[in-house]
Amino acid sequence: MLEVQLRQAATLLLESAIRIAPPHTRDWGRAMMGELNYVENPWAGAMWALGGSSVLAKQALVSLLIPNAAGQDFIPDGGLFAKSAALRKAALAIGGACVLTALLFFAAPPFRQAFGVAMKPWFLMYQAATGNLRPEIEALARRVEKQHDAQGLAFCAVRINDSRESPRLAEEAVRLDPNLTWVYALVALRHPELPQTSGWVERLKKWDPQNGLISLITAESIVRSHFPHGIWAPLNEAQDQAWRSAMAGVFQSPKFDDYLDRLAGLNRKVVPRYHFDDPYEVESRWEIGLPEFAFESCDRYALSLLRSGQELESRGDSKGARQKYWAVARFGQLIDFQGHAAFEHQNGAYLQSLAYKPLKGLSEKEGNPAEATLYGYLAEKFSPLKGVDGGVHGETAFGQFTSQRNAAVVEISGFMILIFSGLVVIAALILIAASFPAAHPAAQSAKPVATIVALASAVGLLFSSVTLYLTYRPYWYIFQSAVQSGDQVQTHDLNEFLRSTQMLPGVSPHAFGMLMEALFYSGSPGFLFYFWAGVTLLGVFGLALIVIRSFFGRPHSKAP
């Protein structure tokens, strides 16, 4: 019984392949069918039919994409869809259902956000070319300002790049709601060279007097006002003394509040209020909060304390040296324990490692082996060379490789959605043109091929939409959990995924960064972007011409 079924399946497979094959290969296919009758073993016959069918299918695909010299294309006589109008209608109905289902995905917020994430690298290139890197935030700022929404103004103030617009929004937000005074700190750290900084610091000292972050703002304003481009160079004596005094206040402060928890609470209120679901603007708190250059001052001051401790130790002042070392260790513990961003924990671990090493040596000199062993263990534990970052903010479940792979899948799926949508539109236009009574004969002849293209593209559109939705769905839940409840579980995965989706798939971060830099800093802004955009459009236009030629550019036999 099984042998009979295998023989029938092999025959049906080969017959189907002959039907869709180009005319110049059908004789070969019929010869393969004749040889099949002489293959005795049913399994060998099935393999014979499978091999012949694969060859015919390849020929059909090649003739679809590259018409031969004789002008014979894929299914020039229309194949099954030309012979059966009912079959063509069924194929179009299936294709229409696939397109409708794919369009329904856009009703789901996770899918809309996923599609925006998939298009992010192209948007970044356009924004870099035009010099407007955050148009969404600027548009939101105009909305909230019209409504005099203090929380919305604060939300935009800490995210907008413009050094004139950002402080204006911050001052307006605090004027409307004095409880938002902490916004001054985040804006001042991003723009420490602002003339408003000194006045803001005085207000922050009254509002939160024990916070070392405020003294750090003062130290950064001294550096950035003298070197506005952030290039470190020796300060003059007066500036250096003022900077050291401010940094001493940072290291001696009893607490270090980066206000990122308050920012997360602000997100939970503003994001649903304005349906602002851009994960790049909402969840990238490491960029919005404390900039990494702020901790460069902490590192420099910590190294100066360690050098002072070593000098005291060389002069025999072990107590003074220990105080210097412990000042560094204590501040490292403070920002590691009270910080929220990943690089804050990393910097805290780094400072502790620097301080525990000389404390170990000092304990050994003082003849305290137990204490030396403890400090040695802590120095190794917090050493960045060991890969320990002191508790990176947010847990990870997927890992870097998985996040990068998922980012590539999302970007490719989004791009394929655009391609398949374009093919569906082209095929639909051809079918509409052929439906008129006075349609050109070429359009009538192209209906079967257009039906195949429409069906295949619709299935591809649906498959790409499903892939995009399922791949991004876990990150949507992480994002929603972080916004609605402040839950930071797996936010490290989300941030790694978002960083990966800001680059084109297959392009290294270094190459993409060079491209973005060329777009943003070239003498003729936008030239490279518009050049390559033009090349891409020309390629798409050429592809469209090839498709149209495959539909209309071959000779057609007159209908009987």
Q: Both 302 and 413 in a single domain? A: no
CA distance 264 to 281: 12
Reported confidence tier of residue 384, pLDDT bands at 50, 70, 90:
low
63 contacts: CB under 8 Å, gap ≥ 6 = 22, 72, 73, 74
| 138 in the same domain as 57 | no
pLDDT for 153: 92
Q: Which residues of 161-178 are buried (b: 16+ CB within 10 A; e: fewer)?
A: eeeeebbbbbbbbbeeee
In this structure, the answer to whether residues 148 and 238 fall within a common structural domain is yes
* Residue 495: inside a domain: yes
φ, ψ for residue 93 (rounded to 5)? -65, -40
What is the mean pLDDT of the segment spanning 460-473? Answer: 90
Residue 353 lies in a domain: no
What percentage of the chain carries pLDDT values higher than 90? 13
**Which of 58-67, 97-106, 206-215, 491-500 bottoms out in mean pLDDT, i.e. has the lowest?**
58-67
Confidence (pLDDT) at 540: 56
Look at residue 76 and tell me whether its pLDDT is greater than 50. Answer: no
Q: Are residues 479 and 401 in the same domain?
A: yes
Rounded CA separation 304/431 (Å): 77
| Count of structural domains within the chain | 3
Residue 135: name the closest of 151, 148, 149, 116 by CA. Answer: 116
Examine the domain organization and report whether 206 and 310 are in the same domain. yes
- Whether the per-residue pLDDT at 87 is higher than 70: the answer is no
* Mean pLDDT on 462-474: 90
Whether residue 310 sits in one domain with residue 261: yes
Note whether 305 and 219 are same-domain residues: yes
pLDDT tens figures, 403-452: 778 888 888 888 889 889 988 888 888 888 777 776 666 666 667 777 88
426 occurs within a structural domain: yes
31 shares a domain with 161: no
Examine residue 23 and state whether it is found in any structural domain, yes or no: yes
Classify residue 509: in a domain, yes or no. yes
Supply the pLDDT for residue 64: 55
**Residues making up the chain, counted from first to last:** 560
Phi, psi at 526, each rounded to 5° = 90, -5
pLDDT at 234: 67
In a shared domain, residues 436 and 540: yes
- 71-80, 221-230, 291-300, 399-408: least confidently modelled range: 71-80
The sign of the dihedral angle between the CA atoms of 116, 120, 122, 127 is positive
Angle subtended by helix axes 212-226 and 197-207, to nearest 10: 170
Q: How does pLDDT run across 305-334, given as a tens digit for each residue?
A: 999 999 998 888 989 999 999 999 999 888
What is the spatial distance between Cα 117 and Cα 112, in angstroms, rounded to a whole number? Answer: 9
Residue 211 lies in a domain: yes
The owner of tokens 């260790």 is 329
Give the whole-angstrom CA distance, residue 485 versus residue 393.
16
The yes-or-no verdict on residue 455 having pLDDT over 80 is yes
Which amino acid, one-letter code, is at 528? Answer: L
Q: Report whether pLDDT(393) > 90.
A: no
* CA nearest neighbour of 348 among 320, 312, 381, 396: 381
The whole-number average pLDDT for the span 271-299 is: 70
**Res. 287 pLDDT band, cuts 50 70 90:** very low
Q: Which residues of 434-468 are buried (b: 16+ CB within 10 A; e: fewer)?
A: beeeeeeebbbbbbbbbbbbbbbbbbbbbbbbebb
Q: Are residues 203 and 299 in the same domain?
A: yes
Query: Is 172 inside a domain boundary?
Result: yes
Considering the chain, what is the average pLDDT of its residues? Answer: 76
Q: At what angle do helices 441-485 and 85-104 cross, to 10 degrees?
A: 20
> How many CB atoms are located within 10 Å of the residue 343 CB?
18
Domain span at residue 59 reads 2-74
> Does the structure show a pLDDT above 90 at 172?
yes
| Tens-digit pLDDT profile for residues 139-166 | 888 899 899 999 999 998 888 877 788 8
Q: Would you say residue 126 lies in a domain?
A: no
More confident residue, 117 or 435: 117
- Is residue 306 located within the same domain as residue 431? no
Do 102 and 172 share a domain, yes or no? no
Q: At what angle do helices 165-176 and 183-190 cross, to 10 degrees?
A: 170
Q: Within a 10 A sphere around the Cβ of 315, how many other Cβ atoms?
A: 10
User: Which of 290, 305, 338 is a domain's end point?
Assistant: 338
Last residue of a domain, one of 292, 311, 338: 338
Cβ neighbour number for residue 134 with a 10 Å cutoff: 18
Where does a domain end: 290, 323, 338?
Answer: 338
Mean pLDDT value across residues 491-509 = 66
